[in-house]
Amino acid sequence: MPILYLRGFIRDATYTPYLNPSQFSEYNISQFDVNQAQACGLINLGMPGNNLAFSKWVTPKRTRSYPFARIYNTYHLNTKKVTIIPIIKDEGGGTQNNDRINYITFSWMNLLNIYIILAWYEDAERKPNTTDRITNQVLNAKSVREKLLEVSRYQMTALH
């Protein structure tokens, strides 16, 4: 069977990404708490039509919680897209599974034109029936809100 070679040029790629918009909640920036918010949604910045689409990760590791689905759910919106990623997720002294953010994550987000907000866990609870494991980590919501406002004022693309 002969091998078929194709050569061509794709002039324009247009599409409407649209996965699961029914789960969208809208939050006011002044009351936005990343810990209480849904996995993705809209943040109202106080002026009509001035919103940020956001998604959040629970761990910096891409393979544990599949955060790309949340990002793609925001991709059909005609606004800036932001993803909130914890820098590190520590699960306590009894484990060696501290997840850290990987440099390739930055590259993927930049190429998708998604702004990254790096956050950190500032509080946690002891895991039941253990002495050295933690759970229910809480991100610093004030810092995330400040960074969201900073991104809203930024005039360049996420790639820059």
Task: Provide the sign of the torsion angle of the four alpha carbons 119, 120, 122, 124, taken in this order.
Answer: positive
What's this model's pTM, rounded to 2 decimal places?
A: 0.77
Per-residue pLDDT of the chain (160 residues; tens, 9 = 90+): 788 888 888 777 676 665 655 667 899 999 999 999 998 999 999 887 789 999 988 776 666 667 777 888 888 888 999 999 888 666 656 566 666 677 778 888 888 899 999 988 887 677 787 777 766 787 889 999 999 999 999 989 888 7
